[in-house]
């Protein structure tokens, strides 16, 4: 497998690739976009930082590409939508620079509390202005943390060591988690109004853009201090400048900006109560080494068929959970394939029902496997990355339902496909025995027991004598061996569902003889 290291990452990370005999490493630092398009034609993985742009054109050119690894957090240089379309995993390394960014944030907080930057500048000019540079203390102050992810949690830990009270706003933060972190969960308005210091640790989204603006600044205490080492654009810079000039904001610190770098004539460069740094969040020797090592390890694990970690366009699942799910993932893919071949024309909806103990586990990988199986015979280059998107593009609505108990099975997966006329076909499967052998156990509610590694004939026929013998005769004359069969009768309807496991596909002539029989209502050959 070929790995293109397009940007400089830690030499230790590069050496991890080189140490594995399965990988050939191409180091191409500083390549032009045209050179990148040529280099990616036969690579399996690309490792980048922020310099190389991995565009839609790159994904189109890289026919073998399976994974793009970003040594760092931000992925603005990677077209994730195009990656998803081409079935390429995009991953970052969110933990490698956590401490570096948290420490820089706290450096800004200290610099915004004790004006050491300004004092140093005056000392170099020959001045001795002790009274001019009187500062404040962190002790006893309230810190508002917007975003309680890894970095926000590390900043909070350091703030508590300085005897600060910490308020946290995060839509995904639970009371229990807040308690574990030693912080107080707060609503956004509460945090804004009560905090002496506010630090931002959220991604830039439509919801967070200009989260801090002129209106929210007016809600803040006079003399508030604001810091952003996360993403530019979360703070409205024009509003921040006005607040700093008016004195409503006592001090601020920025490591990120709406436009990077800020223009040479930006007013941000002129304010004495603002400390600015050139996006240094991850700029420590340790962080650079960590993200390089992390991206190499993650890419190697993924390319060798192991755990996918920190993926941005597919679920990342704990290895222990994945091990528990593995036999069900195999079963799910087969159920998806079965449902596509057995289903009615013009499928518009897929309902996936999970029953029993498995509802306690992360089922998204199972759903992806079912969708992948459904698409296997009708689309190319399908994997967990692009399957959900391709299902949606077919106009198929996918719904997942979890039901704690099933009347007959401890654990069961049911896949139902429905067309616009309301016609429904359903397939269910479970695992049997200590070896967890997958079996098809229900077809349209009829009990069967069918292997999942087989070619099948599925019949719905009138429940009349001689059908099984007729099928056996036709297949025998066609030199098609029957390996196994399962029969389910519905006396009330007068129909039966018959499933034959066969060693080869019947000829057109034999198929036509079966279809023409007056007792045969439905006939399908299913390849699993």
Instruction: Return the active site residues.
Output: 231, 260, 279
Provide the edge-to-edge strand list for the sheet that holds 224-228.
Answer: 184-185, 165-169, 142-146, 197-200, 224-228, 249-254, 274-276
List the Cα angle 205/210/212 in 5-degree steps. Answer: 125
Parallel, antiparallel, or unpaired: how do β-strands 24-27 and 520-527 relate?
unpaired
Sign of CA dihedral 201, 207, 209, 214: negative
- Neighbouring CB atoms inside 10 A of 187's CB total 10
302, 303, 305, 306 alpha-carbon torsion, rounded to 10° = -30
What residues contact 247, with CB distance under 8 A and at least 6 apart? 222, 223
Among residues 146, 220, 221, 228, which one has the least CA distance to residue 188?
A: 146
Between the alpha carbon of residue 29 and those of residues 8, 35, 48, 51, 506, the distances in Å are 6, 11, 10, 9, 57
Structure tokens at 316: 């990342």
Query: What ranges in 258-407 are assigned the alpha helix state H?
Result: 285-303, 319-342, 364-375, 387-393
With beta carbons less than 8 A apart as the criterion, state whether 452 and 438 touch: yes
Give me the residues paired with residue 502 across strands.
455, 482
Distance between CA atoms of residues 127 and 129, nearest Å: 6
With beta carbons less than 8 A apart as the criterion, state whether 389 and 86 touch: no
Structure tokens at 323: 């091990």
Distance between CA atoms of residues 340 and 187, nearest Å: 47
Among residues 315, 330, 426, 411, which one has the least CA distance to residue 369?
A: 330
Parallel, antiparallel, or unpaired: how do β-strands 437-443 and 446-451 relate?
antiparallel
Q: What are phi and psi of 154, to 5 degrees?
A: -70, -40
C-alpha of 56 from chain center: 19
Between the alpha carbon of residue 457 and those of residues 85, 314, 475, 498, the distances in Å are 34, 35, 11, 8
Give the H/E segment covering residue 158.
helix 150-161
Terminal alpha carbon distance of the chain: 29
DSSP string, 213-249: -HHHHHHSPTTEEEEE-S-TTSB-HHHHHHHHHHTSE
With beta carbons less than 8 A apart as the criterion, state whether 238 and 266 touch: no
Distance between CA atoms of residues 273 and 249, nearest Å: 9
């Amino acid at each position: 497998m070929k790995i293109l290291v397009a940007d400089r990452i830690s030499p230790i990370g590069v050496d991890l690739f080189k140490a594995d005999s399965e990988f050939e490493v191409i180091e191409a630092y500083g390549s032009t976009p045209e050179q990148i398009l040529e280099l990616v034609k036969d690579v399996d993985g690309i490792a980048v930082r922020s310099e190389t742009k991995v565009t839609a054109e790159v994904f189109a050119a890289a026919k073998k590409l399976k994974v793009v690894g970003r040594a760092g957090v931000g992925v603005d240089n990677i077209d994730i939508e195009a990656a998803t379309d081409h079935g390429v995993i995009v991953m970052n390394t969110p933990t490698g620079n956590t401490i570096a960014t948290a420490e820089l944030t706290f450096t800004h907080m200290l610099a915004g509390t004790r004006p050491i930057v300004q004092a140093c500048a005056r000392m170099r000019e020959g001045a001795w202005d002790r009274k001019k540079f009187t500062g404040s203390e962190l002790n006893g102050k309230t810190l508002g943390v917007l975003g309680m992810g890894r970095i926000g949690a590390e900043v909070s830990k350091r703030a508590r060591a300085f005897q600060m009270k910490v308020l946290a706003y995060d839509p995904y933060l639970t009371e229990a988690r807040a308690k574990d972190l030693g912080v107080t969960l707060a609503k956004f308005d509460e945090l804004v109004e009560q905090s002496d210091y506010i630090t931002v640790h959220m991604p830039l989204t439509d919801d967070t853009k200009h989260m801090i603006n002129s209106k929210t600044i007016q809600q803040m205490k006079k003399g508030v201090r604001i810091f952003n080492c996360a993403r530019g654009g979360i703070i409205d810079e024009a509003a921040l400048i006005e607040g700093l000039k008016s004195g409503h904001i006592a001090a601020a610190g920025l490591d990120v900006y709406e436009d990077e770098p800020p223009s040479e004539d930006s007013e941000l460069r002129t304010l004495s109560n603002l400390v600015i740094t050139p996006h240094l969040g991850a700029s420590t020797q340790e962080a650079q080494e960590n993200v390089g090592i992390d991206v190499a390890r993650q890419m190697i694990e993924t390319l060798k068929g192991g755990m996918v970690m920190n993926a941005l366009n597919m679920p990342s699942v704990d290895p222990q959970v994945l091990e528990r799910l593995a036999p069900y993932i195999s079963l799910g893919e087969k159920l998806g394939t079965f449902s596509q071949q057995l289903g009615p024309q013009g499928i518009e909806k897929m309902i996936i029902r999970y029953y029993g103990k498995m509802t306690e586990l992360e089922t998204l990988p199972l759903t992806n496997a079912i969708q992948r199986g459904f698409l296997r015979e009708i689309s190319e280059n399908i994997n967990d990355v692009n399957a959900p998107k391709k299902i949606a593009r077919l106009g198929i609505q996918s719904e997942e339902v979890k039901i704690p108990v099933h009347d007959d099975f401890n654990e069961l997966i049911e896949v139902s496909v429905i067309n616009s006329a309301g016609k429904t076909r359903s397939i269910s499967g479970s695992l049997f025995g200590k070896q967890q052998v997958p079996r098809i156990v229900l077809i349209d509610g009829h009990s069967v027991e069918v292997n999942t590694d087989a070619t099948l004939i599925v019949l719905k026929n009138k429940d009349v004598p001689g059908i099984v013998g007729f099928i056996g005769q036709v297949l025998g004359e066609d030199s098609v061996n029957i390996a196994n069969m399962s029969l389910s009768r519905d006396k009330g309807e007068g129909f039966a569902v018959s499933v034959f496991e066969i060693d080869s596909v019947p000829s057109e002539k034999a198929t036509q003889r079966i279809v023409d029989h007056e007792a045969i209502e439905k006939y399908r050959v299913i390849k699993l």
